[in-house]
């Protein structure tokens, strides 16, 4: 019972805050330079630009890196590898939806992110249920957002929701 209440609280907290952000995961880059440190700096700039372009209707090269940085809520380096002169990294970003919309508006682009993202749903399930149904869940094209030793949060296209419900597992819509 104690864990159920905690899960419901965490789910509600996620639901309130998730709508304010645009999440871009698995942005991978590989960059070479005279040393790994310089390569990493260049890779981080490239990953930021690539991730930001994923939330845009089309690439806008006039937007500066500083303008993009102002839109970041947070980011993570999910994986990285170094050699003497090469850096390989995978990044995830959360962009502030209102800041991105304001920036695009300054370039004459109106973007309704709610409409764009409306085909996806966010769900939370217990880790045990996820593991038992992993093959079926992967067939739904899920994108894992959060993972802990008790639960997993992911998004998927709404069109798979009826099929998902047939799995008869406990879940919560976020």
User: pLDDT tens, 54-94?
Assistant: 887 677 888 999 999 999 999 999 999 999 999 999 999 99
Are 44 and 80 in contact by the 8 Å Cβ rule? The answer is no
The beta strand positions in the chain, using DSSP E, are: 21-32, 72-82, 86-96, 120-126, 143-147, 151-157, 171-173
Domain boundaries, the chain: 21-111, 119-173
Structure-block tokens of residue 8: 């419901």
Q: 119-173 in CATH: which number?
A: 3.30.70
Give yes or no for residue 14 having a pLDDT over 70: no
Q: What is the pLDDT of residues 16-54, one digit of tens each?
A: 345 788 888 889 999 999 999 999 999 999 999 999 988
Confidence of residue 146 (pLDDT cuts 50, 70, 90): confident
CATH number, domain 21-111: 3.10.28
Would the pTM count as exceeding 0.75?
no
- Strand 21-32 and strand 120-126: the pairing is unpaired
Sign of CA dihedral 143, 169, 150, 4: positive
């Amino acid at each position: 019972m104690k864990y159920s209440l905690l899960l419901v609280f965490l789910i509600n907290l996620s639901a309130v805050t998730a709508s304010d952000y645009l999440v871009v995961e698995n942005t991978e880059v590989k960059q070479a330079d005279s040393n790994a440190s310089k390569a990493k700096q260049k890779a981080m700039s490239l990953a930021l630009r690539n991730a930001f372009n994923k939330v845009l209707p089309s690439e806008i090269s006039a937007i500066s890196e500083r303008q993009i940085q102002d839109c970041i809520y947070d980011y993570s380096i999910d994986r990285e590898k170094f050699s003497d002169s090469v850096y390989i990294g995978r990044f995830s970003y959360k962009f502030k939806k209102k800041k991105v919309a304001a920036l695009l508006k300054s370039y004459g682009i109106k973007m309704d992110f709610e409409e764009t993202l409306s085909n996806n749903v966010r769900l939370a399930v217990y880790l045990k249920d996820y593991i038992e149904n992993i093959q079926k869940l992967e067939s739904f094209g899920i994108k894992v957002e959060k993972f802990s030793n008790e639960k997993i949060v992911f998004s998927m296209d709404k069109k798979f929701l009826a099929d998902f419900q047939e799995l008869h597992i406990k879940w919560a819509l976020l």
